[in-house]
Structure 1
Amino acid sequence: MSDSAIDLDDVQGVIVRGYRVRLVRHFVLTITDAAAAGQLIEALVRGRAGVPMITRARLIEPKPASFVNIGFSAAGLAALGVTAAQLASFDPAFQRGATDPVTAATVGDAGASAPERWIGGLDNAARVHIVLSLWVVSSAEVMATVSAQLRAAFAGGVSELTVQDGGEFSDNSVHFGYRHGIAQPTIIGMPPRKRDAPDAQPPVPAGEFLLGHLNAAGGTYRVLPQELSNNSSYGVFRILEQDVAGFEAMLARYAAETGIDTGMLAAKLMGRWRNGNPLTLSPVAQGTPLPDREMNNFNFVSTNPAMDDTLGLKCPIGAHIRRNNPRDAAVIGTDSTHHRLVRRSMPYGPQYDPAVPDTQPRGLIGFFINASIRNQFEFLTSEWNRRDDFVKSATRPEGAAAGNAVYNISGEDFLAGVNDPASSSFTLPGKGPKGSANRTLEGFARLVTTRGGVYCFFPSIKGLLYLAQLPAAAGTAPYQR
C-alpha cells in the first residue's frame, strides 16, 4: 500500500484529524458478553438503532455536534476472540500493556505514578478492555444526550469501569498556563486543511500513524490477522495530573535565585512563551501571539548565525518542546521524523486560581497516537524525556569557544521526567566553552503524576466489522447481522 493512499472512510478520524471540540468523555469499559459486545461494535460502525456512528477520517460538512471513536486493549481484543498467536504479532509494548512493570519502568510510572495507584480501576489490566471516546463540539446537552444513547447500547455487552471527562478552557490553555495544541505533524497523504499552520519540518509518512502504510524507515507495521492490519493504529491513553501550585512555587523560587522573571523562566522550561510564541522566534520577550502560519514554522539549526540555536541559547536544549521534538538538531539515533506523535488531549478539572488555592485534581487527559508505541511514545518518554545524553556534539556556528550542545542539557524533562529534588536538574545554557557559562536549576520535584493509562489499538472501520463478527464466528453466541 502506498504511503499516500489513505482510505479516509476506513480510518478512525481521531488518528489523523483534530476535531476542534471543547468537551470530551472517555468511557473505559469491560466486556461482559463477547457476542453482545460484537453487536455493539457493529451498531457503532453502522450507526444502527440510535447508536452514534464511529467517526471516520473523511471531513464531514456541516460539522456534526459530536464524534465517537473506539480503541481496545490487548485484553479487550483477546476477550473478543483474537488469539494469543495473533496478538503476538502486535507492537511489543501494546502486548505488555500500560500496567506492566517493564512498561512502568520504561515510561517512568514510579512512586505516586505507579500503576497500582491508578484511579478508576485502571490498575486492573484484566478488566480494562475498551476506551470509547465521545468528543462534543461545545454543548453539555449534546454530551448528556449522546452519553445516554451510548449507555443504553452498552447494556448486556459491556460495563463501565470508569468515566473520565475533559474540557477545553476558553483561552485554549492548559493548567500550567501555556497555549494548548499548537504543533501536530503533517501527514503525507492527508488532504490539506485551511486552518493548519505551516511546519518547517518535513511531512511525516502515513506509516508512522497507520499500519499497512510506508513508515519513515521505508517499511510497514503490520499485525495478524490481515483484517486488522491496514489503516489501524495505536493510542496511548493517559490521565496526567498536574501540580499547578507546585509549578508556580517553582517559578517563584528560581526567579528569586536567578533574577530571571517568572514569564521568561516558564518559557525557558517549555520552549514557548505561555501565549504559544516559540523562543526560537521570540527569544527576548513574549510579544503578541504570532499568526498561526508562523507559530510552528521554525527549526533549531541554521547556517545563518542570527537564526541558529544549536547551543540552546534561545530555547534550552532541555526545554520540553525540544526534548519531545528536536526538529533538525543533532541527536543520537534516528531523527525526529521517526518518532513523531499525534496528540489528542484536553484539560480536566477546574482552572487553578492562585488567589483561591485548592487541591482539586486537575491535569491533561487524552491520547498519544502512533503506529509503534515502542518506537514513538516509549522512545520519546524513555530516551529523550528521561536522558540527557541523546544530544550529539555540535559547536556551530561560532566554534567550541562558544560552547558545545552536549554540555548544555542536564537532568530529565521538567514535565515528563521522574524528577526528585535530590537529583533534578535543568540547564539554562550560556555562551562559553564546555558549559562554563551555564546556569543550573536544581532541587525541583515531579510536577506531573500519572493517574491512569491504557495502551489501545484503534482498528480500521473494516477491522471493527471483523471484530464485531469474531465472537459469533467462534461460536460463543448467535450473532445477528
Structure 2
Amino acid sequence: MSDVAIDLDDVQDTILRGYRVNLARHFVLTITDAAATGKLIAALVRGDNGLPAITTARRIVPKPAVFINICFSASGLAALGLGADQLASFDAAFQRGATDPASAATVGDVGLSAPQHWIGGLHDGAQVHILLSVWATESSAALEGVSARLRAAFAGSVTELYTQDGTEFPDSTVHFGYRHGIAQPTIIGAPPRKRDAPDAQPPVPAGEFLLGHTNAAGGTYRVLPVELSTNSSYAVFRILEQDVAGFESMLARYAVETGIDTELLAAKILGRWRNGNPLTLAPAAQGTRLPDAELNNFDFVSPAPATDDTLGLTCPIGAHIRRNNPRDAAVIGTDSTHHRILRRSMPYGPQYDPSQPDNHARGLIGYFINASIRNQFEFLSSEWNLAPDFVKSATSPEGPAAGNAVYNISGEDVLVGVNDPATSSFTLAGKGPKGSANRTLRGFSRLVTTRGGVYCFFPSIKGLLYLAQLVAAGGAQEAASDAAASPMPYQR
C-alpha cells in the first residue's frame, strides 16, 4: 500500500491529528460482558443510541464540541475474542504490556515509578482492557454531558476502573513552564495541519504510525487477523507526575553553581527556551516567540562552523529535544526518522504557584503513538533517554581540537531519566579536546514519576466493527486460515 493512500474515514483521528482542545477525560475500563461490549463498540462507531461517534481523520466542519477515540490492551483484545496465535502476531512489547517487568525496566519504570505503585488499578494490567478518551473543545458542560451518556452506556458491558482528566494551560504550556507539542512529525499522506505550515524536518512515512503502510525501512507492520492490519496503530498511555518545586529548586541551585541564568539553564536542559524558541535559533536570549512554522527549522550539524552544533556547545547533546529527535546528528539506531513518535498529551492537576506551595498531584497525561512500541517508544526511552552512549564519535568543522561529541554528554535525560543524586549528571559542553572544557551538573533527583501506563492498540474503524461482530459471533476464529492468507508482521 502506498504511503499516500490513507483512508481518512478508516483512521481514528488522534493518530494523524492532535486536537486543539482545552479539556480531556480518559476512561480506564475493564470488560465485564464481551457480547455487550461488542454492541457498545458498534454503537460508538456509528454514533447510535445518543452516543458520540468515534472521531475519524476526516475533518469535521464546524469543529465539534467533543472528540472520541478508543483503544485496547492485549488483555482487552483477548477478552473480545482474539486468539493466542493472533495476538502473537502483534508488536512484542504490546504483548508484554506496560506492567510487565521487562517493559518497566526498559522504559525506566522502576522505584517509585514501578507498576506496583501505579494509581487507579493500572498496576494490574490484566484487568485494564479499554481506554476511552474524550476531548472537549472548550466546554466543561459538553464534557460532562458526553461523560454521563457514556457512563449510562457502560452499564452491563464494562466497569470504570479509573478516570483521569486533563486541562490545557494558557499558551500550551506544561507544569515545568515550557510550551509543548511543538516538534510533531509531518506524516506523508496525512491531512495538512490547518494552522501550522510544514517545517523543514524530513516528512515521515505513514507506516511509522499506521499498520499496513510502508515504513521508513521499506517494510510494513501487519497483524492477524487481516481486519486489524490496516490503518490501525499502537500507543503508550502515560500518567507522568512532575515535581515542579523540585525542578525550580534544581534550576536555582545550579544557576548559582555555574553562574548561568536560570532561564538559560532551563533552556539548556530542554533544548528550547520556555516560550518554545530553540537554542539553535536563539542561542543567547529567549527573544520574541518565533512563528510556529519556524520553531523546527533547524538541524544540529552543518559544514559551516558558525552554524554547526555537532558538539552541543549551543544546545547540549543531552538536552531533552536532542535525545528524542537527534535530527541529523550521528547516533545509533539508523537515524531519527526511524524512531519518531506522535505525542497527544495535556497537563493534569492545578498549576503550581511558588508563592503558595502545595502537594497536589500534577503532571502530564496522554498518548505516545507509533506503529512499533519496541522500535519507537521503547527505543527512545531506553537507548536515547536513559543512556549517553547513543551518540557516535563526531567532530565539528574545526576538527578534533575543538572536541568530540562522545565526550560531551553524560547521564540520563534530566527531565524523564531515572536520576539518582548519587549518579546523576548533565554535561554543559565547552570547546576543547576530549571534553577538557566541559562542566558537569551532578547530584539531582528524578523529576518525573510514572503514575500509570498502558500499552494500547488503536484499531481502524473497520477493525472496530470487526471486533464488534467478533464477540457477537462468539469469538470464533480461523487462525490457521488467517495465517496462511496473511503475511506475518514485518520485523526490523
The residue aligned with 2:44 is: 44
The residue aligned with 2:3 is: 3
Conserved? CA contact 1:236–1:367, under 8 Å: yes
| Superposed counterparts of 1:206-285, under 5 Å | 206-285=206-285
Give the Cα separation in 2 of the matches to 1:460 and 1:192: 20
SS for the counterpart of 1:165 is: strand
Q: 2:453 corresponds to which letter in structure 1? A: G
The residue aligned with 1:100 is: 100
Q: 2:181 corresponds to which letter in structure 1? A: G
Give the Cα separation in 1 of the matches to 2:133 and 2:248: 32
Conserved? CA contact 1:198–1:296, under 8 Å: no
* Number of aligned residues: 476
Conserved? CA contact 1:198–1:297, under 8 Å: no
The residue aligned with 2:382 is: 382
The residue aligned with 1:448 is: 448
**Aligned-pair distance for 1:232?**
0.1
**Aligned-pair distance for 1:3?**
1.1
The residue aligned with 2:319 is: 319
Query: Could you give the per-residue CA deviations for residues 338-394 of structure 1, whole angstroms, max 9, x where no partner exists?
Result: 000000000000000000000100000000000000000000000000110111111
Give the Cα separation in 2 of the matches to 1:66 and 1:116: 33
**Aligned-pair distance for 1:170?**
1.5
Residue 71 in 1 paired to residue 74 in 2? no
Conserved? CA contact 1:210–1:230, under 8 Å: yes
Give the Cα separation in 1 of the matches to 2:392 and 2:124: 41
Query: Could you give the per-residue CA deviations for residues 12-43 of structure 1, whole angstroms, max 9, x where no partner exists?
Result: 00001111011000000000000000000000
Give the Cα separation in 1 of the matches to 2:138 and 2:350: 17
| Superposed counterparts of 1:125-274, under 5 Å | 125-274=125-274
Conserved? CA contact 1:416–1:448, under 8 Å: yes
**Aligned-pair distance for 1:146?**
0.5
Conserved? CA contact 2:81–2:475, under 8 Å: no
Q: 1:160 corresponds to which letter in structure 2? A: E
Q: 2:430 corresponds to which letter in structure 1? A: G
**Aligned-pair distance for 1:475?**
6.5
Give the Cα separation in 1 of the matches to 2:403 and 2:419: 26
**More divergent stretch after superposition (191-200 vs 111-120):** 191-200
SS for the counterpart of 1:127 is: coil
Q: 1:325 corresponds to which letter in structure 2? A: N
The residue aligned with 2:485 is: none
The residue aligned with 2:420 is: 420
TM-score, length of structure 2 as denominator length: 0.96
The share of aligned pairs that are identical, in percent, is 79
Give the Cα separation in 2 of the matches to 1:105 and 1:17: 31
Q: CA RMSD in A?
A: 0.9
Conserved? CA contact 1:275–1:286, under 8 Å: yes
Give the Cα separation in 2 of the matches to 1:193 and 1:173: 20
SS for the counterpart of 2:161 is: strand
Query: Could you give the per-residue CA deviations for residues 233-278 of structure 1, whole angstroms, max 9, x where no partner exists?
Result: 0010000000000000100100110010100000000000000000
The residue aligned with 1:344 is: 344
The residue aligned with 1:124 is: 124
**Aligned-pair distance for 1:332?**
1.6
Give the Cα separation in 1 of the matches to 2:306 and 2:178: 26
Q: 2:257 corresponds to which letter in structure 1? A: E
Change (3 A) 1:197 1:413: farther
Conserved? CA contact 1:198–1:294, under 8 Å: no
Give the Cα separation in 2 of the matches to 1:333 and 1:45: 38
Q: 2:78 corresponds to which letter in structure 1? A: A
**More divergent stretch after superposition (239-248 vs 198-207):** 198-207
Q: 1:313 corresponds to which letter in structure 2? A: L
| Superposed counterparts of 1:284-433, under 5 Å | 284-433=284-433
Query: Could you give the per-residue CA deviations for residues 166-211 of structure 1, whole angstroms, max 9, x where no partner exists?
Result: 0101221100000121110000001322312432221000000000
Give the Cα separation in 1 of the matches to 2:191 and 2:10: 15
Q: Unaligned 5+ residue runs, structure 1?
A: 477-481
Conserved? CA contact 1:431–1:437, under 8 Å: yes
Conserved? CA contact 2:201–2:296, under 8 Å: no
Conserved? CA contact 2:82–2:475, under 8 Å: no
Q: 2:171 corresponds to which letter in structure 1? A: D
Conserved? CA contact 2:80–2:475, under 8 Å: no
Give the Cα separation in 1 of the matches to 2:445 and 2:155: 44
TM-score, length of structure 1 as denominator length: 0.98
**Aligned-pair distance for 1:416?**
1.5
SS for the counterpart of 1:9 is: helix
Q: Unaligned 5+ residue runs, structure 2?
A: 477-492
SS for the counterpart of 2:170 is: coil
Change (3 A) 1:275 1:475: closer
Conserved? CA contact 1:199–1:298, under 8 Å: no
**Aligned-pair distance for 1:292?**
1.2
Give the Cα separation in 2 of the matches to 1:399 and 1:453: 45
Give the Cα separation in 2 of the matches to 1:423 and 1:393: 24
Give the Cα separation in 1 of the matches to 2:69 and 2:382: 28
Give the Cα separation in 1 of the matches to 2:136 and 2:333: 40
Query: Could you give the per-residue CA deviations for residues 51-77 of structure 1, whole angstroms, max 9, x where no partner exists?
Result: 110000111111101100000000000
